[in-house]
Amino acid sequence: MRIVQSVRSDGFAGVEQYVTRLALAQAASGHDVVVVGGEPERTAAVLDGQGVRWLPASTTLEVHRQLRRLRTWDPQIIHAHMTAAETAALLPRRAWRRAPVVATRHFASRRGGSRLRSGVFRLFDGLLSEQIAVSAYVAATAGTQLCVVHPGIDERPEPVAARAPTVLLAQRLEPEKESAVALRGFASSGLAAAGWRLLIAGSGSEEPDLRRLADRLDIAGSTSFLGHRGDIARLLDESSILLSPTRIEGFGLTALESMAAGLPVVAAAGGGHLETVGAVTPDLLFPPGDHVRAGNLLSALATDAERRARCGAALRDVQRTRFSTAQMVRRIDEIYARVV
């Protein structure tokens, strides 16, 4: 099947990683896939030599133009991610023979944000051939019926090196991610005095405030701000605990990657966490925003290596059986088959 995966973007965050991962898996299963959008250097590097063509598009109009340029290729499915790409795909489409448009919803909100804009974008529900949600949490907030297909990732080999006494926070440093809860939780755990470190992989507008908070909490000497990292997989293999404080994660790919790495996750009991790590290790969830409870969980887990290993193994097993790339592609193929 000839498939276009489109996103209006010049970045490479969670949605773009999902798009490239899905495209690669579809190509490996025999589909002919083109990706439109995504940060040029990193997207091209991920797709290079993997049998997936890539076309840049950082605006809605550019996505639309790239789709028009693909008219001679005659795509059978246009799979759009986020509202801007959906808009580009739903503009007058005679140029590409009105291929069905399937959309994946990645965030727990209605299109458009405001009530007025949401009303306008509600027209999309009648124009899209099918809509997919990355979690039941996202589906419940969409205001329309969505088919839930959880993201999947490939199996990873078990780490061979010993894990360091580190807690990893890997996310954008923006207000909605609640990174301050992670710092306060680490401080209240008392792990800094026991020689543990907090590693913060990510960048964003809150970084200066978070650095000052680390100073006030007296954990600056045990906290490392690593900035944006391209080696998250290695950090997951080397760390002992992932801390994920965001209560509104649409799904949480980093939590899923931690599962694949056999890394226990202390997470806020909200959003997509309830469907991934929370379905396996609910005893490691804390009430959203409750840094004291988060700290208690970190302390208990840090002092029990056997429990960490047991939790990590259980998470890895569930990732391999319920959140695999093969399962994701199979479910989405079934949706495509219904609408073509």
**Residue 36: CB atoms within 10 Å:** 30
Characterize the bridge pairing of strands 197-201 and 223-227.
Answer: parallel
Let me know if 212 is exposed, middle or buried by CB neighbors in 10 A (0-12, 13-18, 19+): exposed
pLDDT score of 230? 86
Question: Going from the N-terminus, what domains does the chain have, and what CATH number goes with each?
Answer: 2-152+324-339 (3.40.50.2000), 166-322 (3.40.50.2000)
DSSP H helices in the chain:
14-28, 40-47, 60-69, 83-90, 115-121, 124-127, 136-141, 179-189, 207-216, 232-238, 253-260, 291-302, 305-322, 325-339
CA-to-CA separations, 71 to 54, 85, 247, 339, in angstroms, rounded: 15, 17, 42, 19
Among 305, 288, 309, CA closest to 182: 288
pLDDT in tens, 278-314: 999 999 999 999 999 999 999 999 999 999 999 999 9
Q: Could you list the pLDDT tens digit for every one of the 340 residues in the chain?
A: 999 999 998 888 889 999 999 999 999 999 999 999 998 888 988 998 899 999 999 999 999 999 999 988 999 999 999 989 999 998 865 545 578 999 999 998 777 665 545 556 777 888 899 999 999 999 998 878 899 999 999 999 888 788 999 999 999 999 999 999 999 999 999 999 999 999 999 999 999 999 999 999 999 999 999 999 989 999 999 999 999 999 999 999 999 999 999 999 999 999 999 999 999 999 999 999 999 999 999 999 999 999 999 999 999 999 999 999 999 999 999 999 999 9
Q: Edge-to-edge strands of the sheet including 32-36?
A: 52-55, 32-36, 2-7, 77-81, 101-105, 130-133, 147-148
pTM: 0.90
DSSP classification of residue 267: E
